[in-house]
Amino acid sequence: MLKPLSSNLFIAILALLGTGLVQVYSSSYIFAFETYGDGLFFFKKQAIFLVLGLLAFFSAFSLPLKWVEKSSWLLWVIGFFGVVLTLIPGVGVKVGGAHRWLQLPLGIRFEPGELLKIAFVFYFSSILYLRQELFKKIPLYVLLILLVLPLVLLLKQPDFGSFSIICLTAVALLFIFGLSWKYIASAVIAAIPLFYFLVMKVDYRRARVMAFLDPWADPEHKGFQVIQSMLSFHSGGFSGVGIGQGQGKLFFLPEAHTDFTLAVFGEEMGFIGFFLLLSLYGFIIYRTLQIAFMVKAEFLKSLVIGAATVFGINVFINCGVVLGLLPTKGLTLPFLSYGGSSLVIYMFLFGIIVNIEKNMERNLN
């Protein structure tokens, strides 16, 4: 029987968790001290999130896979109602103009959109492969309505990042599991006007696109964040300035401990550290896909490939943003950025994957 600590995937995740905890301390200390009078404010919270994440991982690792198959829709329903609650006045928490969070005890905020991203993989896989077993009495159009409605609510929050990741994951899964590229291309072409409307007809999103195309046109406002990010990477050079020695986090780089924490990491650890970090992410995605192609059950195969896809897209978008290769978008970098919702949810997801790996090894033996 495969134990979690003998799994290369779990060891790689632990390495990222440790790196992330150090990174939260380094990138948030000055900001936390000036804002809350406690330089360890975010570090202590992240440590709590890490413990909760490990509990989520081992809980998922211990679940019977038959239960995972039969209850795959449950996560989507929970995520759906969580997003609904964020839009109820007095219940949802508004931060930066968006209603994405729910206030939990101990001062913890939960972002249902993060749950919805991974829940989509479970629900969509169940529609593709388990519909005959699980949804015999539910018409397909009802299942599709339940699929689309939460996505509409994400736009209402608004959370365009999670909406985009889910849409890209859906396209990837449909392509991987046999839908003709002609149909996918037709759907993508048909969606272009929708995305144009959602981006170019919304002032702040259009401003982000314009800043991406020419950040130096407005270096003190719209282009400020991406310029500071690139300057941080430039300052880091090949070997970095050292942990804790970065200057970008000293109120030059907005969101230094969340969305743009990779820029702080790049400054302090340099190209070498940046390359090793991306290699670690690459290994996690590679190993997850390796597990997927060894699994025989179609639902589990779809689930693991979907997990690798949603995780990989999230990492790709965050890296693209901080490097100035994509328009600015408020997405954290899994396991490295400060944020409890993302950490706990992804730990639960990878707990399921290592669980599948465990059962796969048992069947091979």
DSSP string, 128-170: HHSHHHH-TTS-HHHHHHHHHHHHHHHHHTT-HHHHHHHHHHH
| Residue at token pair 């919304």 | 202
Which residues is 95 bridged to in the sheet? 98
pLDDT at 365 over 50: no
C-alpha 124/C-alpha 259 separation (Å) is 28
pLDDT-derived band of residue 286, with 50, 70 and 90 as boundaries? very high
Say how many CA atoms lie within 13 Å of 151 toward its Cβ. Answer: 15
Strands 109-110, 92-95: pairing is unpaired
Task: Give the Cα separation of 162 and 101 in Å (integer).
Answer: 13
Length of the chain: 365
Mean pLDDT of 271-277: 97
Beta pairing partners, 98: 95
Helical H runs in the chain?
8-36, 41-62, 65-70, 72-86, 112-129, 131-134, 140-156, 160-176, 181-200, 203-213, 224-236, 261-294, 298-322, 340-364
- Check residue 362 and give its pLDDT: 61
Domain boundaries, the chain: 4-364
Give the pLDDT score at 363: 54
Q: Residue 113 in contact with residue 159, Cβ under 8 Å? A: yes
**String of DSSP letters for 208-270:** HHHHHH-GGGSTTTTTHHHHHHHHHHHHHTTT-S-TT--STTTTTSTTTTTTTHHHHHHHHHH
Task: State the pLDDT at residue 347.
Answer: 97
Q: What is the per-residue pLDDT across 306-338, written as a single tens digit (0 to 9) for each? A: 999 999 999 999 999 999 999 988 789 999 999
Task: Give the tens place of pLDDT for each residue, 64-120.
Answer: 998 888 888 889 999 999 999 999 988 888 887 788 999 887 778 899 999 999 999
Task: Decide if pLDDT at 2 tops 50.
Answer: yes
Tell if the pTM clears 0.95, that is, is over it.
no
Cα-only R_g, the chain: 20
